[in-house]
Structure 1
Amino acid sequence: MSLELDARQRAMLLEMGVTVWAPAPAAAPAAPPTNEAAPVTRPAPAATPARPAAQAAAAPPPTTRRQAPTQAAAPTPAAAMAQAGGLLLRPPIALYPQADPTATPPELGSGWLVLLESPTPAEPLAGDSGQLLDNMLRAMRLHRHPRCFVATLSQPQPGRPAEGEPPAAGLQQALTTLRPAMVLVLGLGAARVVLGSREPLGRLRASAHQLADGTPAVVSYDPAYLLRAPEAKAAAWIDLCRALALVRRQPGA
């Protein structure tokens, strides 16, 4: 009696070290011939004859019209700020002129200038965003400083006389007149206009800046954005504390 092992079983036994003496299975019978017709092989299409060399040489090569590149002169930083978004800078407004200068905390420095875009440029403390701005400045105790100013950036109204001047000239005049200890720049639009940078707001907030005359500046969120994203208020408060710390370290503060 012999075991009927297929090829797989024989291979497994050999792999285990078992000698198989059973005869190998008989080869399977050949498949009977079929009456199916063999597949017809179609001849490959004839290749398109190449154009004669003389004809190819006679045909003119295709031409493409290229416009000479024009290189515009890179704008200066002042021109870039003046042209940024077509914004105009209004003259600074004293926010708390009734504050007693003798009661102003000395660590607040000689004065502050706040720059931002405002939906109510003539009344920067009006509306919800203006109220939030007032709360932010009061938390910094700037309501006790008579030299806390705000200058708003706004788009010219069509059909109305433009109020304000290009940001570069307006900012330079404000810095020369007010000599603030700190410029607080609120919002991405204002930061790009003032600093002449295309960096995102996160990078602009990451460090302090210096304006052309050496005045320090700190960038943070604008009140309108904080109304839409209240979760960013904690980060904005960190920015305001950084500005206070920089002023506190100034000589004479």
Structure 2
Amino acid sequence: MIADRAKTSRGRVRSTGVDGTSSSVTVEGVITALAGALTVVLTAAAFWLSYEHLQEVAARHGMGDAAVRSWAWPATVDLFIVIGELLILRASLARRVDGWAVALASIGSGGSIALNVAGVGAQAQPMDYVVAAVPPVAALLAFGALMRQVHAYLARRVVTPVEHPSTPTGVAVDRPKVADASPDAVKAAAVPELASSEPAVEAASTAVGVCPPVVYANRVDGLVRALYGTLGAQPTTSQMTAAMVAAGLGASESTARTARGRVKNREPYLASFPATIAS
């Protein structure tokens, strides 16, 4: 008896140990946060050095008596880099290439580097040119690194079908004949929790074709689309909200109905699916 209790106690101690996976995730998060903070500091410092040098160049070339204009003039060059990088980030999130954004960033970066170097003067030493070129180059690289980290963070928040196999977003589904399935089987296939409470699906005498593969980035939209393929019918509000609760997406009926509207707008043929009694 005492030996059994000792074994049980040792088992409990082992089961409450620190999870190695959680520790690695925590360390990765700390490193990512530190890298992001250092990138922000580097970007700000490099832009400040480049901006101030361009202000000095402007002051020496016709704007010495207009301090406000000499400080505003560098913005006509450096801000093109910021605008271009932000537009590139927006385009990459939309999975497309924005040539105009790339051109803006390239022109702004090239102009900033050229003006910083040219502003040193013709009689300067080689190291003076290097010192003048480093801030705009560093600003370009640091801001690009910052936008890359922002993109990676936003991309991780877009859930893929692999991460949530229970809510597939882009699969080819053979829709069964609703008439061949009993109401209980149809309800259980969609959401098991509704098997005893959801109204029966109206019978249909003809089969509906094969659903083409469509990918939805929005999780709720993908969940609603999956219910169409599973049920072979238009899902009801209660079915959608129950499935959302099961997937950890809340239980907002308005969100479910809005998602259903977006799915039907994207795939109009879904409107021909047989309707359920309650929707």
Tell me the TM-score normalised to structure 1 length.
Answer: 0.22
State which structure, 1 or 2, has the greater radius of gyration over its C-alpha atoms. 1
Q: Which has the higher helix share?
A: 2
Structure with the larger RCO, 1 or 2 (CA within 8 Å, 6+ apart)? 1
Q: Which has the higher strand share?
A: 1
Tell me the TM-score normalised to structure 2 length.
Answer: 0.21
